[in-house]
Amino acid sequence: MKQPQFTIGTARCLLVFFAAVLVMNAGAARTLNSANPIRRVVTMLQMMQNKVEKEGEKEKKIFNKFMCYCDKSHDSLVQSIGAAETKLPQLDSSIKESQAELDRLKRDVEQAKADRKDAAESLAVAQSLSEKELARLNKEIEQYRSNIKALEKAIAALEKGRVSAFLQTSAVGQLRLLTVNLDMSTSDRDLISSFLSTDKSEDEYKPEPSEILGILKQMMDEMQDGLEKTIAEEKNETEEAAAMTKAKREQIAALGKQIEAKSARVGELGVDIVNLQGDYDDTAKSLEEDKKFFENLNKACELKKKQWNERTQIRREEVKAITQTIKVLNDDDTLTLFKKTLPSPNFLQLSHRKRHGHRRAPGDTAREKAMNALQEGAQRGHHNSRMQAISMALRNKRT
């Protein structure tokens, strides 16, 4: 009959089996009348198999949770890294645009302040000139009115024949001054001067009142025309000055609002740039940390997969070995073999018989298989205290 293959898992199972057999050999007299000890070992192996399988299920749940964490973290990090790599250029562009706008607004504010200052100075100069011009025009108007009033008195005196009484009034001096300043012919000026003169000899020529009256009326017309023109000029100057003042004040007010609005925007942009720069720094730092964490996560997850595959393979071999051992122990030949072996003192006498040339007992084959399994396990690096204890026992050593 073909014998089953013994693996590392088989060795582990046999450790339990031989530990139970050693205990039973220590009290062989008590076990002769008890239940079949092989069945006890089989039961122990089955319990071990159940324990290994349950441990495997628990470890699988833990592994699945860890891999779920790996997958979710991987997706989350990929999304986070992608978003940060997209966001950083946008933030950089926004910072540059905001900085350019900030610089432009600062220049606009300075220019608006300069324009407002120029407008205020221009308004002051224009108001000063306008006031002087209006003062001059008002003076001319007053002069025209004064001259007209003097002419009216002279004309009225001539028309009523009261020349002597008129020549005694202050209006005479005003008319004399007017003839000097007024643009008129020399002959007319001489006639007026002669008329206004109180020192006349009897032989001196005396102009007729009608001649003087005509000249005075002509002067009156010129005075009234000049007065009307001067009044119109004064009105025009006043309106122009008012319009200019209004325009300049509106310009100054508009520049003030512009300065205020742009200054407020300068402050807002300054805050925005600080916030954008902070967001950029935080995003860059977060991106670097995410990349490092992403790299470490991938390494950790790959290592966990590798360890899980190795652990799964070992557990599969253990379960297979336990199954094979149970199969061996349940075999009829094996049961018969161990029943014949139990009455013997114990396994410690195996080497003694072999060294003294005793004939190989039927149980020797089972012991050799156990030794081979233990050696195979040792070669694969599976050393533990129970394996060493059983190995020493099979070599007739005390533990």
In Å, how far are 5, 26, 273 from 262, measured between CA atoms? 91, 102, 16
**Helix, strand, or coil here: 228?**
helix
pLDDT digits (tens, 9 = 90+) for 166-195: 676 766 777 777 776 676 677 777 777 777
Strands (E), the chain: none
Q: Which of 368, 358, 281, 302 is nearest to 92 (CA)?
A: 281
pLDDT at residue 324, as a whole number: 84
pLDDT at 393 over 70: no
DSSP assignment, residue 1? -
pLDDT digits (tens, 9 = 90+) for 215-241: 888 888 888 998 999 999 999 999 999
pLDDT at 196 over 90: no
Its pTM stands at 0.53
Are 259 and 116 spatial neighbours (Cβ–Cβ below 8 Å)?
yes
Helix (H) or strand (E) holding 32: none
User: How does the average pLDDT of the chain come out, rounded?
Assistant: 76
Q: Between vectors from CA 29 to CA 38 and to CA 23, what angle results, nearest 5°?
A: 50
